[in-house]
């Protein structure tokens, strides 16, 4: 049940069952979600829009973005810093100053270390790490300005439990995610004192398109085995993100690990 005032609204937002009902806790906020053409990004964009935010969605597949309702689609490759800058310019021109960034785009291309195609390593580094860095950098002035003016701004990095635990054949993917998680901890020391809540959400196994383009049989076998359990759905992570960014301004839900119960 929602209590009077913002704290009450936040409490309401903590219940998955009420996230859709209480809505509009993010009214007035301007958000960008990368990797929003499928999976966690698409679900997060929808949930943020349902909660009242204006949302720009970014990915390479324009037709997938255009199929999402009530959001601003911007086709871009986040591994290209010029594209990321174009995204930032477009969002500012169309929606205004951004106060909520969900850097979610990612690729997972598992393979044994000795036989992996190094072009796949480069792709993971380019999207998961460099792309995320350029995404945050392109919007950080907006986040700082909003934090100063309105007292609240969020930079959400979607990492993975792979940053904490080890799986065979996923070492380089896990390294990119460990980089994201530790980058986030360090950025908190720079931006927390200036009012920007930098945070990681670290999902366990979620049933999405992630890994669909993998070709290595050993890595596919690990993924197939993981997906035999009752996995999370993309909306479960979207709800966790809405929960985190709906907290009162002095609360940073800094590291949120969300795993299927069966994953342990
Ligand atoms: N699913 C899981 O079990 C799981 C677990 C832990 C963490 N995660 C993380 O969650 C995030 C979202 O993954 P997901 O599971 O939702 O997978 P997904 O359905 O495959 O979504 C990945 C998204 O990233 C976008 N993307 C990939 N390369 C891009 C590029 N160069 N430029 C712009 N966008 C790009 C894709 O869009 P386009 O192809 O249209 O560009 C897509 O929208 C990833 O960072 C992933 O590592 C997922």
Structurally, how many domains does the chain consist of? 1
Has 170 been annotated as catalytic?
Answer: no
pLDDT over threshold 90, residue 66: yes
**Res 18 pLDDT > 90:** no
List the one residue out of 186, 225, 219 whose CA is nearest residue 205.
225
- The preferred substitution site among 39, 229, 232 for testing ligand 1, maximizing ligand atoms within 8 Å of CB, is 39
Of the candidates 61, 259, 56, 228, the one whose C-alpha atom is nearest the C-alpha of residue 163 is: 259
Say how far apart CA 60 and CA 164 lie, in whole Å. 29
Q: Report how far Cα 25 is from the mean position of its chain's Cα atoms.
A: 19
Query: By C-alpha distance, which of 52, 44, 42, 60 is closest to 9?
Result: 52
* Dist. CA 119–CA 161, nearest whole Å: 24
pTM above 0.85, yes or no: yes
Closest to 190 in 3D by CA, of 227, 143, 229, 225: 143
Across 32-50, average pLDDT: 98
Atom of ligand 1 nearest to the CA of 77: 32
pLDDT for residue 74: 98
- Look up the domain containing 49 and give its range: 5-205+214-258
Atom 46 of ligand 1, nearest CA residue: 106
What are residue 137's phi and psi, to 5 degrees?
-60, -40
Q: Is residue 263 part of a domain?
A: no
Q: Does residue 59 sit within a domain?
A: yes
Q: What pLDDT does residue 140 have?
A: 98
**Residue 199 belongs to domain with CATH number:** 3.40.50.720
| Pocket-testing residue among 34, 40, 128, ligand 1, by greatest number of atoms within 8 A of Cβ | 40
Predicted confidence (pLDDT) per residue in 69-79, tens digit: 999 999 999 99
Residue 24: the pLDDT is: 83
pLDDT of residue 7: 34
User: Is 264 within a domain?
Assistant: no
The Cβ of residue 93 has, within 10 Å, a number of other Cβ atoms equal to 8
For residue range 86-125, what is the model confidence (pLDDT) as tens digits? 999 999 999 999 999 999 999 999 999 999 999 999 999 9
Is the distance from the beta carbon of residue 203 to the nearest atom of ligand 1 less than 6 Å?
yes
Report DSSP letters for 214-261, one per residue. ---HHHHHHHHHHTTS--B-HHHHHHHHHHHHTS-TT----EEEE--G
Q: How many angstroms is it from 150 CA to the middle of ligand 1? A: 31
pLDDT, tens only, 188-247: 999 999 999 999 999 999 999 999 999 999 899 989 999 999 999 999 999 999 999 999
Q: What is the pLDDT of residue 23?
A: 64
Q: Could you report the per-residue pLDDT of 141-189, keeping only the tens digit for each?
A: 999 999 999 999 999 999 999 999 998 999 999 999 999 999 999 999 9
95: in domain: yes
> Does some domain include residue 56?
yes
Question: Catalytic one among 113, 170, 173, 243?
Answer: 173
* Residue 98 within a domain: yes
């Amino acid at each position: 049940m929602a209590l009077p005032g913002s704290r009450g609204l936040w409490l309401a937002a903590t219940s998955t069952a009420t996230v859709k009902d209480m809505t509009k806790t993010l009214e007035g906020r301007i958000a960008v979600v990368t990797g929003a053409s499928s999976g966690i990004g698409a679900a997060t964009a929808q949930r943020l829009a349902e909660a009242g935010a204006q949302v720009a969605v970014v990915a390479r597949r324009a037709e997938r973005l255009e199929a999402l309702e009530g959001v601003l689609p911007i086709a871009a490759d986040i591994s290209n810093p010029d594209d990321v800058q174009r995204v930032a310019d477009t969002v500012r021109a169309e929606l205004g100053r951004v106060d909520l960034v969900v850097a979610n785009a990612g690729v997972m291309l598992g393979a044994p270390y000795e036989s992996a195609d190094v072009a796949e390593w480069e792709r993971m580094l380019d999207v998961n790490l460099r792309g995320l860095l350029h995404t945050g950098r392109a919007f950080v002035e907006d986040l700082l300005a909003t934090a100063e003016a309105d007292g609240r701004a969020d930079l959400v990095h979607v990492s993975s439990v792979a940053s904490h635990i080890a799986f065979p054949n996923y070492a380089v993917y896990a390294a990119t995610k460990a980089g994201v998680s530790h980058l986030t901890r360090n950025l908190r020391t720079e931006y927390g004192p200036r009012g920007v809540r930098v945070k990681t959400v670290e999902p366990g196994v979620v049933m999405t398109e992630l890994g669909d383009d993998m070709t290595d049989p050993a890595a596919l076998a690990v993924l197939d085995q993981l997906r035999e359990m009752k996995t999370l759905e993309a909306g479960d992570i979207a709800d966790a993100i809405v929960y985190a960014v709906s907290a009162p301004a002095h609360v940073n839900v800094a590291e949120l690990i969300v795993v299927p119960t069966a994953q342990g």
